[in-house]
Amino acid sequence: SYELTQPLSVSVALGQTARITCGGNNIGSKNVHWYHQKPGQAPVLVIYRDNNRPSEIPERFSGSNSGNTATLTISRAQAGDEADYYCLVWGSTSWVFGGGTKLTVL
Amino acid sequence: QLQLQESGPGLVKPSETLSLTCTVSGDSISSSSSYWGWIRQPPGKGLEWIGTIYYSGTTYYNPSLKSRVTISIDTSKNQLSLKLSSVTAADTAVYYCASQYCSGGSCYGYIYYYMDVWGKGTTVTVSS
């Protein structure tokens, strides 16, 4: 089965740029979707198909995908961006989520 | 605005069948532009896809759960349902339903339909 690897945690200073990675074998050939999830809430889609933003998501959120790594980039990080972030791909027989990354804004 | 709401028993006994319903509002569950999925999240852990259904009744299941899962759809009530049999403590989780939508490129095939709008989730505990 296909596996995705995310760092357990990422820290970023307020106003700086955070990058959260999602690793998988030849993930660059797949569509990657990203979600954030705040405590006690449902996940919210922030990036779909590698680098597309839903209309309600700020332009500070962007994505890229190449080779064996997809990356979610959050520019000008704000305290409200603190959350768990998950990547998602179709892994040939099932949908697969990454293990999740906790983003801390210092 | 599309909304989804999960409902069902919060406590299920081991070996019994977990049954949940997801009520969709703001869109027709018979829409050809969406699939409908179930995802779960054990306490303190990550997300796991359970399965997905199309309005036609076509289903897709996680191979690791396939032998125990049944997802169905009731277009007259705008609802989808989840049944998970022979539950154990490992099935304790928050269960979410979600619409699966496609945009931003080719939509030729189910694999392009990512989870879009999610319900708030319902907590199910398996315990005697």
**Least Cα separation, residue B121 to chain A (angstroms):** 7
C-alpha A85: how far from its chain's center?
Answer: 5
Cα-to-chain-centroid distance, residue B88: 18
Categorise residue A92: left if φ over 0, alpha if ψ from -120 to 50, beta otherwise: left
pLDDT digits (tens, 9 = 90+) for B61-107: 999 999 999 999 999 999 999 999 999 999 999 999 999 999 888 88
Interface contact flag, A48 B103, Cβ < 8 Å: yes
pLDDT(B127) > 90:
yes
Q: Which two tokens stand for residue B103?
A: 């945009």
Q: In this predicted structure, what is the pLDDT of residue A54?
A: 95
- Whether residue B122 is predicted with pLDDT greater than 90 in this model: the reply is yes
Residue B106: its pLDDT value, please? 86
Give CA–CA dist A12/A78, Å, rounded: 9
Say if the Cβ atoms of A48 and B114 lie within 8 Å: yes
Q: What is the pLDDT along chain A (106 residues), one digit of tens a residue?
A: 899 999 999 999 999 999 999 999 999 999 999 999 999 999 999 999 999 999 999 999 999 999 999 999 999 999 999 999 999 999 989 999 999 999 999 9
Contact A31 B119 (CB under 8 A): no
Residues 6+ apart with CB under 8 A from A5: A22, A23, A24, A98, A99
State the DSSP H helix or E strand holding residue A45, giving kind and residue range, or none if neither.
strand A44-47
Nearest CA in chain A to B59: A94
Tell me the C-alpha distance between B91 and B128, whole Å.
13
Query: Percent of chain B, pLDDT > 70?
Result: 100
B43 and A CB contact within 8 Å: no
CA distance B60 to chain A (A): 8
Report which DSSP code applies to A104.
E
User: Which band of pLDDT confidence, cut at 50, 70 and 90, is reported for residue B1?
Assistant: very high
pLDDT tens, B9-67? Answer: 999 999 999 999 999 999 999 988 899 999 999 999 999 999 999 999 999 999 999 99
